[in-house]
Amino acid sequence: MCGIIGINSNKPVSSTIINSLKKLEYRGYDSAGIATLYDGLIDEVKSEGRVNNLEKNSLVQSMKGTIGIGHVRWATHGLPNSINAHPHSSQYVSVVHNGIIENSTLLKKFLISKGHNFKSQTDTEVIVHLITENLKTENIVNSIKKTLKSLQGSFALGIVFKDQPDLIVGARRGSPLAVGYGPNENYLGSDSYALKSMTNKITYLNDGEFCIIKKDHVEFFDEDGVKVNKKVLELSSEEKSYDKGDYKHFMAKEIEEQPTTLKNGIKEYIDNSNNDINIYNFPWKTNEINAITLIGCGTAYHSCLMAKYWFEELTSLDVSIDIASEFRYRKNRFKKNSLYVFVSQSGETADTYAALDLCNQNNMKTCSIVNVIESSIARDSKFVLPIHCGTEIGVASTKAFLGQMLILYIFALKIGLLRKDIIKEKFTEKIKDLKTLPKLVEQTLLTDNKIQTISTTFNEAKGSMFLGRGFSYPIALEGALKLKELSYIHAEGYPAGEMKHGPLALIEEGMPVVILAPRDSYYKKTISNMQEVIARGAKVLLITNKSKDEVISENIWEKVEVESTNDDLLPFLLTIPLQKLAYYSALKKGYDIDKPRNLAKSVTVE
C-alpha cells in the first residue's frame, strides 16, 4: 500500500506531483501530502482524505519548488489524519515511506534519548530523525547507508534534504520502487503506472539498493554504499491513458471490459492455425514436474483454488494451493520436482513476493501469473505468464480475476497435453469451446437489470451466504468477498455440502443465500443443499445456466441464468452476476466503489 512520487526538475513540480498522486491513489487514500525544497527551506503540506483535498489547499497551489516528494497513504501505524500523513519532516530532512518499520519502538526510544521530539504516531517518523541524527557525523551516502542498516522491516523511501537542494534519495527493501528518466528531470515512483505519463524509460531498484537522483543523472548504490550499474528498461507504450470514459466507476468499466480481457488472453496464447496453445520458452520438461503448488492472496487465491480443480481434472499432477501469507511461515518441505506458481494482479503483493523469494532461496521452479510484467514478482520468477488484461484501477478486482483464471486454465490444458494426461481430441475440443468464451461472457453481462433489483434485498439483510460445490465453490468465495469489499455487508462463501456441519445454524427467516448450481456433475447434490436452506427460511437466489430442462423452482426467491458451455468454463460465467450484485449493492448504498474503505489495490505490506 501507499504511493510515492518524487521529481527533480528545473521547473516547479507541485502540480505534476499532485497529478501523479492521483494515479497512485489506488495504493492508498487515507491521506496525502507533498514536500518541496524552495529558498533553502522544506515546504510541506498535508491533508486528511483524498488527493483532491490536498490539491484544493491554497498552500499547495503556491508551492514554487523544483524538487519534491509526494505520498498517498494507507494507514498502518497511527490514525489516518493530517498529522500522521506523509511526508514527515525535521528541520533538515523530509521523508515519504511505503512499508512497515518493525523496530520503530526501539528506535524511537533511542532517538528521544538523543533529544529528538516526535509529532506523529507513525513508524515512518523514526526514519526522519535517524537520518537527521546520522547527518551530524556522516555525509549523505554514509548517513543513508547507516540509517537503512538500522531499519528492520520493509520500506520504499523518497527523501529530500534542506541542505542538498539538487537531489532526491530513493531506497527500497521489500517494497517496490522505480526511477524514471526525462529531459532535464528525473523521477522516483512506487510503480511504473505513476511514471508512465512522464516517461517510458525506467530502472527498478533491487532489495537493499538506494539511489541519488539529480536532474541530469542518477547514481545507484548497493546496501554497502558501493556504486552499481543498472539497466534502463523501456516500458511498453501499448496502454494509453486509462480513464472511466462514460462509466460512473472504473469497476463498472472493468466488468464490461471482461470479454475484451478474454479475447486478448486467447489471442496471446491460442494458435488458431492448429488449435494449439503457445507457451514459449518454458524452462523445464514436464516430466521433471510431478507436483504443482498454487499461491496467492485474496481474489488471486480464489483463482488458484479454481485452478486446483482444473489441474486435477486435466493433469495427473499432485496439486496443492496455499495462501501466501501462511506459506512463508510454515515449515515447507521443498521438493525439486515441484512447480510453484504465484498469482498476483499487481505483481507487487508483499506476501506473495515473500513466498516467491523463499522458493527462490531454495532453488525451486517458480512461475508467476501477473498483470504487470515489469513488477517485482515477474522480474524475480524463473518463468512468467502475463495476464494481458490491461490496467485495472478498481480496488475490487474483476477483469484481472477472469484473466488469472483464463491463464491458469490455458496452462493446465497445455500441461495436460504435454504430459499426455488428456488426448489430443479432447484438448482440441476444449480449445474450440474456449474461443467462444468472450461471446458468452458478453451475453451474460446482459443480466444487468435483474441484478439491480435483487441487490436491494442484500442491502437490507444483516448477512448473506454464497454456496457452491466443485467448480462453483471458489466462485462462491469470490462472490462473498466482492460483497464484503464493496458493500460492507457480512457475507460468507461455503461449500454447499458443508452447511449441515455448522453454518446452517446461521440461516434464519429472510436471509439471502446465493446458490451457484450450474448443470454440472454436482447439480443434483447442490439442489438438495438448496432445499435445506429454503426449509429454514432463506431467500434463495439461484444462479444456474440455461437449459431445456426446467430447474426445480419451488420456493426459490429469484433465479438468474447465465449462458451454457462446458463444465470447465461455467465458473467464468457464474462470476459475472456476482460482480454485478456487489457493484449495485454498493451503488445503492452510495459507497465509494472504486476505493472501498480500509482497502488498497496493491498490497505491498504484510
Report the alpha-carbon distance of residue 168 to residue 205 in Å, rounded: 14
Residues ≥6 apart with Cβ < 8 Å to 89: 35, 42, 44, 95, 128
d(CA 272, CA 139): 61
Q: Active site residue: 2, 211, 297, 367, which one? A: 2
CA angle 477/481/486 to nearest 5° reads 155
**How many of the other CB atoms lie within 10 Å of CB of 161?**
21
CA angle, residues 100, 356, 486, in degrees to nearest 5: 60
Helices (H) and strands (E) in the chain, counts: 20, 27
Listed in sequence order, the residues at least 6 apart from 202 whose beta carbon sits closer than 8 Å to its beta carbon are: 178, 179, 180, 181, 192, 195, 232, 233, 234, 235, 374
Cell matching residue 554: 419451488
DSSP secondary structure letters along 368-410:
EEES-TTSHHHHHSSEEEE-------SSS-SHHHHHHHHHHHH
Structure-block grid coordinates of residue 135? 547527518
Q: How far apart are CA 229 and CA 231, in angstroms?
A: 7
Bridge partners of 421, per DSSP, are none
Q: Helix (H, G, I), strand (E, B), or coil: what is residue 567? A: helix
Q: Which residues pair with 41 in a beta bridge?
A: 38
Question: Which residue out of 46, 399, 484, 601 is catalytically annotated?
Answer: 601
The alpha-helical segments, DSSP class H, found in 137-249 are: 140-150, 192-195
23: three-class secondary structure by DSSP: helix
Q: Is 601 a catalytic residue?
A: yes
Q: Is 244 among the residues known to form the active site? A: no
Catalytic residues: 2, 601
